[in-house]
Amino acid sequence: MVKLKLGPITDDKPVKVTIELPATVFRDLAVYADILGKATKPEASLEPAKLIVPMLIRFMATDRAFAKARKQNMQPHPHAMSGGS
């Protein structure tokens, strides 16, 4: 069995975003979807577009620099707590 970074794709309430992908990226996405589909649900095909969100989630979750920067950005500014300027 192939060990892919993505697991089963879940449905969630979507926010519509339109993007353009280079043809080579879309072809690779279609191949990845085919492999993942066969590994998780052999009887069903997986739409390549359904992979984009889980891939982005996985990418951001494993990016340590992003996690550190996000944590720093979420901390309240010192002036915001004192009410001063």
The pLDDT tens digits for 4-43 are 777 777 777 877 889 999 999 999 999 999 999 888 887 8
The predicted pLDDT at position 1 comes to 61
The predicted pLDDT at position 16 comes to 86
Is pLDDT of 82 > 70?
A: no
* Residue 18 in tokens: 């339109």
Q: Is the pTM of this model over 0.85?
A: no
The pLDDT tens digits for 59-70 are 988 988 888 888
